Amino acid sequence: MRKNFRNMIVTPLPVLILGTYDENGIPNAMNAAWGGQIDSDMVIVSLSRHKTTENLQLKKQLTISFATRKTVTAADYLGIESGRGINKIEKAGLHAVKSSKVDAPLFEEFPLALECEVAKLEDDNEGYLLYARCINVSADESILTDGRVDLSKLEPIAFDSAANAYRVLGEKVGNAFSDGAALK
Ligand SMILES: Cc1cc2nc3c(=O)[nH]c(=O)nc-3n(C[C@H](O)[C@H](O)[C@H](O)COP(=O)(O)O)c2cc1C
């Protein structure tokens, strides 16, 4: 027997960490789960009004990092406190370094990050739809295997909206564009 629910569940939702600078060059970061990839170089994120959106309007550049098993507490903190008047990065114990590709911070604790330009920040009165064009992928050596990004080393987390929890992603269970061929 199946049961019906009103609240939508999409899974897995990423835990994206949007890194920006403000007008004084102070780094900030926020947690965003309502987003995803829509093209080979484009990420879209649904945003309310935040310190981050003010920074995006100002700088038009950002980094998008992926929260991991090791950074659950810091990542959640970045989603429950605003950076207005508070240096969240210091409070979260994160270490920001300026990206060489965009005017936005990378964080040492997040080994995988996209360096992005704002392609569009659509204001729909209630909030924004951010289109972020990725111009570079920055990966720490610690998560590489044979020179390629290895998600089993990264251990990214997903936001579980059904249980208000974070879950770790990792185990490889198949080969894309390949396993289905057995049924052709
Ligand atoms: C798991 C989680 C997911 C979130 N996803 C989003 C999101 O997709 N869009 C959004 O506008 N806010 C989202 N938030 C809320 C922001 O991260 C939060 O309001 C944050 O304090 C904004 O930071 P800022 O004011 O420093 O920019 C999320 C929070 C959590 C904990």
pTM value > 0.85: yes
Residue 150: pLDDT band by 50, 70, 90 thresholds? very high
pLDDT at 164: 97
Question: How far, in Å, from the CA of 50 to the mean position of ligand 1?
Answer: 8
Ligand 1 pocket mutation, candidates 30, 34, 49, 63, criterion most atoms within 8 A of CB: 30
Whether 51 is in the pocket of ligand 1, judged by its Cβ within 6 Å, is yes
Say yes or no to pLDDT of 156 above 90: yes
Q: Which residues pair with 170 in a beta bridge?
A: none
Cα of 96 to ligand 1 centre, how many Å?
19
Place of tokens 């570079």: 136
Q: Kindly give the number of the ligand 1 atom that is closest to the alpha carbon of 75.
A: 31
Closest Cα partner for 53 from 116, 129, 159? Answer: 129
Does residue 33 line the site of ligand 1, with CB under 6 A? Answer: yes
CA distance 46 to 95: 26
Residue 155: what are its φ and ψ, rounded to 5°? 55, 60
Whether 125 shows a pLDDT value over 90: the answer reads: no
Given a cut of 90, whether residue 170 has pLDDT beyond it is no
pLDDT in tens, 26-56: 999 999 999 999 999 999 999 999 999 999 9
Residue 65 CA, ligand 1 centroid: distance in Å: 14
The domains located in the chain, with CATH, are: 13-183 (2.30.110.10)
Angle 39-132-38 from CA coordinates, rounded to 5°: 20
Residue whose CA lies nearest to ligand 1 atom number 15? 79
Mutate to test the pocket of ligand 1, among 49, 50, 53 (most ligand atoms within 8 A of CB): 50
Q: What does the DSSP assignment read for 26-54? A: -EEEEEE-SEEEEETTEEEEEE-S-HHHH
Please state the atom number of ligand 1 nearest to the C-alpha of residue 20. Answer: 27
pLDDT bucket at 21, cuts 50 / 70 / 90: very high
What whole-number percentage of the chain has pLDDT above 90?
A: 97
Torsion, Cα 102 107 108 114, to 10 degrees, reads: -50
How much is the average pLDDT of 86-93? 97
